[in-house]
Structures are given as C-alpha cells and as structure tokens.
Amino acid sequence: MSVGDNLHKRRDHMFIMAEILEVTIDGALKTQVMYRANLSFAQLNEYLKLMLDLKLLETVKNSERTFYKTTSKGVRYLQSYRELRDLLKKERSGNDSNNGNGNNGVYLVKRGSQVICNKGPFY
C-alpha cells in the first residue's frame, strides 16, 4: 500500500480517501480509481460522491470520458494526512529505530506514475 499502512490491518476512511487522492493526482477514470484503490463499485461511488461534495475531487470531461482529478484542497488533505501519519510513525517507531539489522527501512513504492518513499515494508 502506498501510503504506508500495514497490509493486515483494515483501512479506515481517511486512509482510503488518501489513496483515492493519490490515484487521481494526475487524473484517472472511474475504473482506474476503483482498481488502484482496491474498492468495490459501490464503495467507489460512495467515496466519489463524498469527495466531490467536499471539493477534494473534481470531474474533468474529455470528449466522452469523465476523469476524476485531485483539487488543490485534496492535495492539502493528502499532505496533512501524510504529515500526521509520519508524526505518529516517528513517535511509535522511536524505540525500535535501531533494530541492529543494518537496514534503514526505507522503501520506494511505485503506484502508477508516482514513486513514493515509505519507511518499512508495510509501515
């Protein structure tokens, strides 16, 4: 997962919204959002409606296709979400930052055209 949560934990609403915003940074079709964010069609429709209402996403029509794109407000949400996640991660990982294996725990994750730096394999 690109925003760094453990794969064995359930995703919360804020995490799913952050994933959708990442997927739509450069614009994405509805089906692309659904597959990349790993959502059912019903879940996707609920999140898209909510995020459009909150002005985190906007629709862009290109000929007969409708793309979803992250707004500037959505980018601010995503940045704030990452900062909060990093703050909590630093607090939680403070005691086990030196585990003696010589690995600094930094991983690059590719999602579409984006490369995101995460600490830990699923952290």
d(CA 119, CA 12): 20
Q: What is the pLDDT confidence band of residue 11, given thresholds at 50, 70 and 90?
A: confident
Instruction: Mention the CATH class of domain 13-119.
Output: mainly alpha
The mean per-residue pLDDT over the stretch 5-16 comes to 72
pTM for the model: 0.67
Is the dihedral angle over the CA atoms 9, 12, 18, 22 positive or is it negative? positive
With bands split at pLDDT 50, 70 and 90, how would you rate the model's confidence at 6?
A: very low
Which pLDDT tens digit goes with each residue over 21-69?
999 999 999 999 999 999 999 999 999 999 999 999 999 998 889 999 9
DSSP string of 96-119?
A: TS--SSS---EEEEEETTEEEEEE
- The residue ranges of every structural domain in the chain are 13-119
Q: For residue 109, what are the β-bridge partners?
A: 116
Per the CB < 8 A criterion, the answer to whether 90 and 105 are in contact is no
pLDDT digits (tens, 9 = 90+) for 69-95: 999 999 999 999 999 988 888 665 555
- Identity at 76, one-letter amino acid code: R
Is the pLDDT confidence value at 15 over 90?
yes
| Phi, psi of 121, deg, nearest 5 | -65, -35
Rounded Cα–Cα distance for residues 109 and 81 (Å): 18
Find how far residue 89's CA is from the centre of its chain.
Answer: 16
